[in-house]
Structure formats: structure tokens, C-alpha cells
Amino acid sequence: MCGIVGIFARSYVNQTIFDALTVLQHRGQDAAGMVTCEGDRFFMRKDNGLVNEVFRTRHMKRLFGNMGIGHVRYPTAGSSSSAEAQPFYVNSPYGIALAHNGNLTNAEQLADEIFRADLRHINTTSDSEVLLNVFAHELQRQGKLQPTPEDIFQTVTRVHERCQGGYAVVAMITGYGVLAFRDPHGVRPLVYGQREVNGQIEYMVASESVALDTSGFERVRDLAPGEALFIDSEGGLHIKQCAAQQTLAPCLFEYVYLARPDSIIEGISVHHSRMLMGVKLAQKVLRERPQHDIDVVIPIPDTSRTAALEMAHTLGVTFREGFIKNRYIGRTFIMPGQTLRKKSVRQKLNPIASEFKDKVVMLVDDSIVRGTTSKQIVQMARDAGARKVYFASAAPEVRFPNVYGIDMPSATELVAHGRSAEEVGEYIGCDWMLYQDLEDLKDSIRELNPVIQQFDTCVFDGQYVTGTVGQEYLQRLQDKRSDQAKANSDSDADSEDAADDLHTRIN
């Protein structure tokens, strides 16, 4: 999971990109990066850390230019080394910088092709660098000293033909302009907007509409699956469909957990979709236990609050805030390693005992992934004096890994993999486990935009929309993503830390 932004303006864009990345920080807390362009020169700053840690005043002063791209990242199948921070850059042809959100499922095959046939070198394990080199090679094949927008769109067409997976991309070509495009299934979100400054139009593309809102850009629309947008160096806007076949299948998990509630994705308010998730959870309660004994509904902050409030309202039950969140702890399900994850939960949440004592409590979370967090939260509720603890998930059972850019664990580490809802409830220690039905979750989105008929639901049902994901790939992914694999990787990386620190001080 990552956040991306691209801007063309009439003045320096470094501060606007900084602000946009800060708004998108929830999409990536591992690393941040920015590349700007002035004339025929790129200026880059990237490193591990939060946005306000990576970009200091001394860095911002060196980021010249009226167009640029930015990125915040969580590691997916790659490592968390600073070498993986984006954007990536190649100097041929022209000079190209690129950042992307998503994951290429044929990255290993492409890397081999790039080396053997394209005669290009890949320096990291990041599929973003693979994607950049595919794009650069295909653009070079156009053989133009000065590429036209049509040349660039033809290059994107070739990228779609070669690359498999889910991806939303921003790129910049030195002296020519800013490019953005989306995979033919539209799995990962990408929206563009514009604003008028002194009678001239400026453009921004970003992962979520909140980045546009906070910088004064008016949202125009989401890029369609397979579509590309190019803003030339004079500010001309060019848009073209570059995929031979397209099917809109946005990721359901964006609405459940990933996106900010004040974002609009595919014309749908994320906040309103979460309200409907709460309503549908309540309706399931009334179907299964019309004579329920719930005294209070308590959300597990923050993402589930909207669904929990609507659930309580529909049931006619009291809603209360029962947990206080430490906002200086990251999003736990993506944290590497179970030891760190377990420790962070107790640091992240603390119960208000009076809201639990002698009550039948319905806890509501957006989803359950590993179950580690949920198990500890249920125990917290019991320790605070709850008479019974029920647990509701606004999402269905997460049983399969995501291959399109979310670093969920391997299938064997997912608590619902191979377990029924009742067995998950026993594992986390609750008295009643309630999951959202998949069709109800889909309807929470469809009711707000009936045009969307298909979704990326792979984490819930194992159906991968690209049709190119087999068991061999999933096994390789499991070998990379398991906690043991990450622990081994972290151990290997420790020996490199001293050299990395020295490099940082020198720079």
C-alpha cells in the first residue's frame, strides 16, 4: 500500500507535494520521496521515515521546479531498505522518474526480460523499478528525439501489454511533462483535479481526493481503468484510453480500511460507504439474533467508528467510545513481525473501564487480519469488567493474501484461513463472532454507485481479477511475506545498518 501524487503548476511545487504526501501519510509510513523538475534537470529527495522526517528545510530548498511527483510507501513484497524508497529514476531516454502504488504479479519474469532482452539493469527488489525500466525501454523504442503525447500513450499501451497486476502510476519525463496511468482493472485508486491560478490552469493527480482538497484543487474525476493522463511542459492536458480491454474492479479493502473517510473514490464517499457497512451489520444482527442482549456498541479506533455508530443507531443501542488511542503508533496489521505487533497493541489502545463494567459489549472493527490485535482487545474488554464480549467485523473473513499492493501476511498467518467464524471467535476469545457478508459489503458500495458491478475481492474469496495469479506465485509470495521470512530479512539487514548510517551522514 502506497500513496502517490503528481503535480504540474506555474510555480514551485515542492511545498504542495509535501502537503499532499502528509495528507496521504496513512497510506505509507515506511518511506517518502519527491522528485521535482526545472528545465531539463531533476531534483530528488527520498529516505525512510515519515514525510516530516524525510523533508527538512534544507531539502525543500533544493527541490526546484514547477512540476514533480511524490510517494509514501509501506513495504509490500520487497524489503524496507531505504534503497526501495520511491520515486525511482533512469537517465535514458530523456530522464524519467516514476513512483507507483500496487504490485506487479509478473515482476520476476519482467526483471529477467529486462536484463536479457532490454539490456537494462535492476538494482533493487522493487517492482516499481521494474515498471520504470519497462516504461523507459518502450519509450526508447519509439525512437523520437522529442516524444509527442501520442508516443507516450503508445508506450503506456505497451506497458499494459507487458505488466500484470494492480498499479496506479505517476511519472515525469525531464522537460516534457507529468504522466499518470492506471492498470486495466482499476484496482488501485487514482484521481485528478485542477485549479485556476492567475487565469492559468494547474493539475494534480493523487491516490485519494483528500490530497486535492487540501491543496485547493477541484476534483474532476477518477482515471478510468487503463487510462493515461499526460500534462505537457506547457500545461496542456492530454487523456487517452491505452488498454485494449478494461474492466472496472476497484479494491474493496480501500473502502473498508485503507482510504481516509473524507476521500471520494469512484464517485463514492468512503464515509458514506462505511455508514452503510454499519447498517448492514446491524441488519445481520437482527436476522441472526432478533432478541439480542447488546448493551453498548464500542468501536475499535479509528477506521471502524463510522460503521459502529450506524450499527448502534440501527439497533437502537447505546454507542460509546471505550478505547483511547495513542496516535503516535502506526497501523498495526502491516507492522512486520508478531513480537512488534503484539507489543504495539497495548501501547496503541487503553480501555475506559466504566464503559465496559457489567455490560454486554459489541466491539466493532473494520476487519480482522491476523487476529493478534483482536485477541488482545477482547481480553482488554474482559479485564475492564465486560459481562460478555461480542465482536463484529465490517468486512468479511480475510482468508487469502492480497497480491495487488497490500502487504497482508501469508495465508497460513491469516486467522480466518481454514477457520469458520465460530472458530475465529473461539481463537480471539469473544462470546459471539459476527462477520459482514461479502454481498452486503459489495452492496455498501454499489448502492452509492450502481455503475460498479465488479470488485477486487481476492482477500475474501481468493478470486484474483487479473486472472494471472496461480498457486506457484502465491507460494513464492508466502515465502517472502511470512513473519519468519521478514525476521530473517531484518536480521540480514542489521549488518548493513552501520554503512547505511554513515552514508546518511555523508549526504
Residues of the binding site for Mg(2+)? 303, 365-366
**Could you tell me if 442 and 265 are in contact, meaning their C-beta atoms sit under 8 angstroms apart?**
no
Residue 127 burial by Cβ neighbours in a 10 Å radius (0-12, 13-18, 19+): buried
Cα–Cα distance measured from residue 421 to residue 423, given in angstroms and rounded to the nearest whole number: 5
Residue count of the chain: 507
Q: Which helix (H) or strand (E) holds 338?
A: helix 338-348
Compute CA distances 455 → 94, 166, 266, 390, whole Å.
38, 12, 12, 29
* CA-based nearest residue to 416, from 454, 364, 372, 362: 372
**Could you tell me if 7 and 16 are in contact, meaning their C-beta atoms sit under 8 angstroms apart?**
yes
Cα–Cα distance measured from residue 132 to residue 149, given in angstroms and rounded to the nearest whole number: 18
Grid cell listed for 438 = 461479502
Cα–Cα distance measured from residue 225 to residue 109, given in angstroms and rounded to the nearest whole number: 23
Quick check: bond before 87 cis, omega within 30? yes
Active-site entry in 2, 242, 430, 458: 2
Q: List 36's β-bridge partners, or say none.
A: 43, 68
∠ Cα 29 30 36 (to 5°) = 90
Q: Which residues have CB under 8 Å from 501's CB, separation 6+?
A: none
Catalytic: 163?
A: no
Report H helices in 79-148: 107-116, 127-140
Q: What DSSP assignment string belongs to 163-220?
A: --EEEEEEEEETTTEEEEEE-TT--S--EEEEEEETTEEEEEEESSHHHHHHTTPEEE
**Could you tell me if 212 and 265 are in contact, meaning their C-beta atoms sit under 8 angstroms apart?**
no
Q: Which residues are catalytic?
A: 2
